[in-house]
Chain A
Amino acid sequence: MSERRPQIAVVVFPGSNDDRDAAWALHALGADPVLVWHGEQELPDVAGVILPGGFSYGDYLRCGAIARFAPAMEAVGRFAADGGPVLGICNGFQILCEAGLLPGVLRPNRSLEFICRDTRVRVERADTKLTSRCTVGQTLSIPVKHGEGSWYAHDELYAELIALDQIVLRYEDNPNGSMHDVAGVCSREGNVLGLMPHPEHAVDPLLGPADGAFVIASLVDAAREREQALV
C-alpha cells in the first residue's frame, strides 16, 4: 500500500476492552492507530476517532454516563464539531448518546440477557463519512455483544431523526428490542456514527464475517481525506 496511513485515535477509558481490537482493525485496513488515554485534555494530531467498546466505569449508573465527562471527551466534542469523523462502537455509542453527540439512549436489552452473536444490519445511508464504502440496502453481517443495546428515542425525537435522515443502520434480526430496529445513528452532519454491532471484530474472514471492514475502511477513507484537506 503506497497511500499514507492516516492517524486515528482510539480513546481508552477505564474498562474499555475493545480498544486493541479497534487498533488492530484500523492497522489492518490502512490506518495508523493511536491509543489515547481518557484523561488527556487534547487529542494528538489525528484525523479520525474511535470510541471503542467495553464497560467504562463498570457501566455504573448508566452505560457511558460517567465516561462522557472524561477530559478526552471534550476534545472529541471539539473534533466532531470541526467535522472530524468519529465512530462510537457499543460502549462508545453509549458514551456518545450520553454526551449528547448522538440522539437517543441505549437501554437494557428487552430479554435482560447479555447477547453475543452475529447480527445482520441493513445499510440505510451510504453517504455518511462512516458508511461511504457501503451501498444503501446492503446487508452487513457483524457481531453484537452487549447487555444494554436497546436504542430508545421518544416518538417526537424519532420523527425528527427520520426527517433529518439520521438512521444509518437497522437490524434485520433485532436482537435487543431496539426501537424501530435501529442499530446505528449518525449526527445531523453525518460525521459522527454510533452503532451497537462491532465492526472491529469483523474485518478478517479467518474469524468469521468480515463485513465490519466496510465501516472501518470508510472511517480510514474519511480520515485520509481529512488529512489531505488539511495539508
Chain B
Amino acid sequence: MLVRPKAGILDPQGQAVEGSLRQLGFAVGEARVGRVVDLELGSTDATSARAEVERMCEQLLANPLIESFEIELEDV
C-alpha cells in the first residue's frame, strides 16, 4: 500500500526534504512524503485480497481526511 498526503494538504516533511535536496544541488520540484506498507496476505484471490486491503486502508492505514492510498498486489 502506498499512502500519501492528498493534493493540497500542506506537507511540511515534503518541504523539508525538498529544501535539503536543493541544498545538495538537485534541481527538484515539489517533494511529497508518504508511507509504504508491505503486507503478506494468505489469499490467492486478487479481487478479495484487494477488497480486504481497501478495508484495512480505510479503517487504519490511511486517514481519509488527509491521505489517499494506492494498492499494488504482487505474487510471492
Which residues of A are in contact with B by a Cβ distance under 8 Å? 61-62, 65-66, 69, 98, 104-105, 107-112, 152-154, 157, 177
In the complex, are the beta carbons of A62 and B13 less than 8 A apart? no
Least Cβ–Cβ distance between B56 and chain A, in angstroms: 12
Bound CA span A111–B16, Å: 9
In the complex, are the beta carbons of B12 and A110 less than 8 A apart? yes
The B16-74 residues at the A interface (CB cut-off 8 A) are 16, 60-61, 63, 65-66
Bound CA span A221–B1, Å: 47
- With both beta carbons as reference points, the residue of chain A lying nearest to B16 in the complex is identified as A112
Least Cβ–Cβ distance between B22 and chain A, in angstroms: 16
Which residues of B are in contact with A by a Cβ distance under 8 Å? 9-10, 12-13, 16, 60-61, 63, 65-66
| Number of A-B residue pairs at CB separation under 8 A | 33
Q: Chain B contacts of A177 at CB under 8 A?
A: 10, 12
Bound CA span A65–B60, Å: 7
Residue in A61, A105, A107, A112 whose beta carbon sits within 8 Å of that of B60 in the complex: A61
Bound CA span A196–B9, Å: 20
Q: Chain A contacts of B13 at CB under 8 A?
A: 108, 112
In the complex, are the beta carbons of B65 and A105 less than 8 A apart? yes
In the complex, are the beta carbons of B61 and A107 less than 8 A apart? no
In the complex, are the beta carbons of B12 and A112 less than 8 A apart? yes
Bound CA span A61–B12, Å: 17
Further pairs besides A69-B60, A105-B63, A111-B12: 18, Cβ < 8 Å? A61-B60, A61-B61, A65-B63, A66-B60, A105-B65, A107-B10, A108-B12, A108-B13, A109-B12, A110-B10, A110-B12, A112-B12, A112-B16, A152-B10, A152-B66, A153-B65, A154-B65, A157-B65
Least Cβ–Cβ distance between B33 and chain A, in angstroms: 10
Least Cβ–Cβ distance between A2 and chain B, in angstroms: 47
Q: Chain A contacts of B60 at CB under 8 A?
A: 61, 65-66, 69
- With both beta carbons as reference points, the residue of chain B lying nearest to A153 in the complex is identified as B65
Least Cβ–Cβ distance between B69 and chain A, in angstroms: 13
Q: Chain B contacts of A154 at CB under 8 A?
A: 65
Q: Can you identify 30 A-B contacts, CB atoms within 8 angstroms? A: A61-B60, A61-B61, A62-B63, A65-B60, A65-B63, A66-B60, A69-B60, A98-B63, A104-B65, A105-B63, A105-B65, A107-B9, A107-B10, A107-B66, A108-B12, A108-B13, A109-B12, A110-B12, A111-B12, A112-B12, A112-B13, A112-B16, A152-B9, A152-B10, A152-B65, A152-B66, A153-B65, A154-B65, A157-B65, A177-B10
